[in-house]
Structure 1
Amino acid sequence: MKLLFSENELLPQYDENLIGIDEAGRGALAGPMMMAACKLNKKIDGLCDSKKLSEKKREELYEIIIQNSNYLILAFSSEQIDTLGLSACLKTGLMLIKRHFKTHSHFLYDGNTNFGINGIKTLVKADAKILQVSAASILAKVGKDRVMNFLAKEFPCYEFEKNKAYGTKTHRELIAKFGTCKLHRKSFKLL
């Protein structure tokens, strides 16, 4: 069941009962996928899609968000993604998020499917349109980047601190040269 916001439906920019949800690392070739949910305690200026912000600005906003919200950040490992599948991980994440927050809240997930979880609405590009989803986007992205920066120290040959495990040309060349490591998703076609 999909609960989509229509393009004509008016969406509030700030709603104290709205939980925004987004993920980062969904298409990465290695490392975890992070999901975040965020209920803001106040309106925060400067929020937008994490991909449109500099790393420095994301880090600054991350600190402001965690001090001014009720939030949850989840991580699904490469092994979980390979074993369960990406969709099952996303569905599990949505279920866990829904359980974490009070029932009188309502939920908005960035994308076009709620993976059959009742009560979660979806909106494509919500991370660029809705503050709470923008905040969740930033939490997930900073969380993912921090993990990849840490893992880069253990696996320096893959330059995770630069590519964050996405399928860049350089990352693919490094996989061709060194093979995969235990962090790479075996269920993804890497080359």
Structure 2
Amino acid sequence: MPDTTLESALRARGLMMVAGVDEAGRGPLAGPVSAAAVILPPRWRCKGVDDSKKLTPAKREQLYEKVTTDSRVIWAVAFAEVEEIDRINILRATHAAMARAVEALSCAVDHCLIDGLPVPSFPWPHDGVVKGDGKSLSIAAASVIAKVSRDRLMLEMSREFPEYGFERHMGYGTKQHLAALERHGPCRHHRRSFQPVAQLSLPFGPA
């Protein structure tokens, strides 16, 4: 389970405001990518917080409420929309969303712990932590917030475009989603730069 070992080591060096940063939604064919930044107070605990991919949707929602309603936790979430993803590519859009999330925090940040590899030209000092959502509690909390925030947006999109089944696959390239793309073509929430959306010979679907 993730803990605060990395955060505590940074605080011991005088870096008191340590933000865990993670994203959700890099792989789907539709919808934005989301990123969250979380600063936890020293000795903070919340049973069950873990890499969001290991949690059920119901458990993620429960933990999201616990983390985001705790007045001691400083957090923010940000997005890169489909247009930006298609314009600058998914990796750069993800990094931009991460930077926006840190910038949106209500206090100055001394250091960031980012899930994955270091981010080139990131505006804050940081460490990349491979599989960090299973190691750092603040990254794990960020992973839950990013995932739940994005899933809620995908549920809204499913009401707008029910034919794609976004509420079931959250935009990922499942067999059901690919079949819907073949039938209806892409909608305005699809990433035109992603395969197989870019390969479709069908005209674009609803705007």
**TM-score normalized by the length of structure 2:** 0.81
Distance between the aligned counterparts of 2:53 and 2:95, measured in 1? 23
Match of 1:135 among 134, 141, 147: 141
Give the % identical residues. 36
Contact 1:37 1:136 in 2 (8 A): yes
Larger Rg: 2
Contact 1:40 1:65 in 2 (8 A): no
Q: Secondary structure at the match of 2:191?
A: coil
1:119 aligns with 2:125: yes
Contact 2:34 2:146 in 1 (8 A): yes
Q: Secondary structure at the match of 2:6?
A: coil
Distance between the aligned counterparts of 1:86 and 1:48, measured in 2? 25
Amino acid at match of 2:172: Y
Q: Cα offset for 1:13?
A: 7.2
Q: Cα offset for 1:170?
A: 1.3
1:107 aligns with 2:127: no
Amino acid at match of 2:91: S
Distance between the aligned counterparts of 1:111 and 1:139, measured in 2? 17
Which structure has more RCO (C-alpha within 8 Å, separation ≥ 6)? Answer: 1
Q: Cα offset for 1:40?
A: 1.8
Contact 1:35 1:75 in 2 (8 A): yes
Q: Deviations over 1:105-149 (max 9, x none)?
A: 321110113132151211111011111000000000001111111
Unpaired runs of 5+ residues, structure 2, are: 198-207
Distance between the aligned counterparts of 1:151 and 1:100, measured in 2? 25
* Partner residue in 1 for 2:98: 94
Q: Cα offset for 1:12?
A: 4.8
Q: Deviations over 1:80-116 (max 9, x none)?
A: 1111222322232333344344445321110113132
RMSD, aligned α-carbons: 2.0
Unpaired runs of 5+ residues, structure 1, are: 1-9
1:155 aligns with 2:161: yes
Contact 2:19 2:109 in 1 (8 A): no
Distance between the aligned counterparts of 2:190 and 2:23, measured in 1? 18
* Partner residue in 2 for 1:67: 69
Aligned length: 182
* Partner residue in 1 for 2:80: 76
Contact 1:48 1:134 in 2 (8 A): yes
Contact 1:90 1:115 in 2 (8 A): no
Amino acid at match of 1:28: P
Contact 2:30 2:189 in 1 (8 A): yes
Amino acid at match of 1:87: L
Distance between the aligned counterparts of 2:45 and 2:192, measured in 1? 41
Match of 1:49 among 41, 48, 51: 51
1:34 aligns with 2:34: yes
**Large movers: runs of 4+ above 6 Å:** 13-16
* Partner residue in 1 for 2:17: 17
Q: Secondary structure at the match of 1:108?
A: strand
Q: Deviations over 1:133-168 (max 9, x none)?
A: 000000000011111111101100100000000011
CA 1:130 to 1:77, structure 2 compared with 1: closer, same or farther past 3 Å? same
**TM-score normalized by the length of structure 1:** 0.87
CA 1:20 to 1:185, structure 2 compared with 1: closer, same or farther past 3 Å? same
